């Protein structure tokens, strides 16, 4: 029997889905964090909820350290390690405010956590201790992304801080966001040349690390996730970005309920999927680029909530080469 191009995952969280992450080197296992205080592991091939565990407050992000160990953080200010095999959990430590982002930095074998307390912390997962706290220039951490030694942190005051994980005594560079409005998410290019970031005002920017004028000439921003109705343009936040590791194209998800795939280097949109149930709150390509996890959650954008109130939903789309490969 042919596999369906898209599967709706059963037993989704009961509140906003904050993050979806595929396990390393597979498109079978998906980790999902939610405002319902749970972190869930799904087997998407068999469409089953394999396991779930809880924080004491909404969970804002989660990540795999390897195929069985995870890290998660949220509004309880706590960074939690969890072993999916033994079901042993360990509170690694805390921030002074909510933990907004968690990432595994394989190059330094460490865990990075970004918080609304305006710091990023680096943790040693084996020793289970904090090995560094780094001020983020007075901005709350809204999003961060790391690739090898490079860490990019986007903050509440529309700043972007670029760090080298091997020399964390100070950031390499502090930039102003090229987008006029609040940053939603930032993701590093798989080729380490730069990053893509999005804002609440239906815009995405491609930026390059290399400060030379010929590289800086390549940077650009574009409008997306906007709908014209009766001559009025509705502008939606772009909440999620995920890169295809093979083709270096990327997906964006917006509060318009759409997912687009872009070829950023050739400035082209490759495709747009059908409209989803509500806002796209998180996206994640599997490591081989064969599957895209899509989380839909109504995030209180409208002045009056829609009727009936949209329940969170979760999909895995098995993307085709046509949808993801640069033309």
pLDDT number for residue 244: 98
Number of domains in the chain: 1
Q: Please, which residues bridge with residue 316 across strands?
A: 7, 293
Q: What is the mean pLDDT of the chain?
A: 95
In a domain, 150, yes or no: yes
Assess whether pLDDT exceeds 80 at residue 182. Answer: yes
In a domain, 240, yes or no: yes
pLDDT (average), residues 317-322: 95
- Per residue, the 3-state secondary structure of 74-111, as one string, reads ECCCEEEEEECCCCCEEEEEECCCCEEEEEEEHHHCEE
pLDDT number for residue 4: 84
Answer yes or no: are the C-beta atoms of 142 and 184 closer than 8 Å. Answer: yes
Least confident residue range of 33-42, 159-168, 292-301, 315-324: 292-301
Band the pLDDT of 294: cuts 50, 70, 90: very high
| Sequence-separated contacts (24+) of 243-246 with Cβ below 8 Å | 243/187, 243/188, 243/189, 243/190, 243/196, 243/285, 244/285, 244/289, 244/324, 245/190, 245/285, 245/287, 245/288, 245/289, 246/288, 246/289, 246/324
Cis peptide before 19, with omega less than 30 degrees from 0?
Answer: no
In a domain, 222, yes or no: yes
| Domain around 38 | 6-323
In a domain, 264, yes or no: yes
**Could you report the per-residue pLDDT of 232-251, keeping only the tens digit for each?**
999 999 999 999 999 999 99
Assess whether pLDDT exceeds 70 at residue 1. Answer: no
**Could you report the per-residue pLDDT of 244-270, keeping only the tens digit for each?**
999 999 999 999 999 999 999 899 999
pLDDT (average), residues 267-277: 95
pLDDT number for residue 2: 60
Helix, strand, or coil here: 199? strand
pLDDT number for residue 309: 85
Band the pLDDT of 24: cuts 50, 70, 90: very high
CA distances for 250 relative to 58, 88, 140, angstroms: 28, 35, 26
pLDDT number for residue 307: 83
In a domain, 1, yes or no: no
pLDDT number for residue 125: 85
Assess whether pLDDT exceeds 90 at residue 327. Answer: no
**Could you report the per-residue pLDDT of 78-112, keeping only the tens digit for each?**
999 999 999 999 999 999 999 999 999 999 999 99
**pTM assigned to the model:** 0.96
Q: Residue 19 sits in a domain of what CATH number?
A: 2.130.10.10
pLDDT number for residue 306: 82
């Amino acid at each position: 029997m042919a596999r369906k191009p898209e599967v709706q995952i059963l037993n989704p969280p009961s509140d906003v889905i904050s993050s979806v992450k595929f396990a390393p080197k597979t498109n079978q296992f998906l980790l999902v964090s939610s405002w319902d205080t749970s972190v869930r592991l799904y087997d998407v091939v068999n469409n089953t909820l394999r396991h779930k565990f809880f924080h004491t407050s909404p969970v804002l992000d989660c990540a795999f350290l390897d195929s069985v160990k995870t890290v998660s953080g949220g509004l309880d200010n706590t960074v939690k390690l969890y072993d999916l095999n033994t079901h042993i959990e360990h509170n690694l430590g805390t921030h002074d405010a909510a933990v907004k982002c968690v990432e595994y930095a394989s190059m330094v074998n460490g865990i990075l956590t970004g918080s609304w307390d305006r710091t990023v912390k680096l943790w040693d997962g084996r020793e289970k201790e904090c090995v560094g706290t780094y001020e983020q220039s007075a901005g709350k951490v809204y999003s961060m992304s790391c690739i090898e030694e490079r860490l990019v942190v986007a903050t509440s005051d529309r700043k972007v801080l670029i760090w080298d994980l091997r020399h964390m005594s100070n950031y390499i560079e502090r930039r102003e966001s090229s987008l006029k409005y609040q940053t939603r998410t930032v993701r590093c290019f798989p080729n380490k040349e730069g990053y893509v970031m999005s804002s609440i005002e239906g815009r995405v920017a491609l930026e390059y690390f290399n400060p030379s004028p010929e590289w800086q000439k390549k940077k650009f921003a574009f409008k997306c996730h906007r709908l014209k109705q009766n001559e009025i343009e509705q502008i939606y936040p772009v909440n999620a970005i995920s890169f295809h590791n093979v083709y270096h194209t990327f997906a964006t998800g917006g509060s318009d309920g759409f997912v687009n795939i872009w070829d950023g280097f050739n400035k082209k949109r490759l495709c747009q999927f059908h409209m989803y149930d509500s806002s796209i709150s998180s996206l994640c390509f599997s490591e081989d680029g064969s599957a895209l996890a899509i989380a839909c959650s109504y995030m209180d954008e409208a002045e009056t909530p829609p009727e009936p109130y949209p329940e969170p939903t979760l999909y895995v789309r098995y993307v085709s080469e046509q949808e993801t490969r640069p033309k």
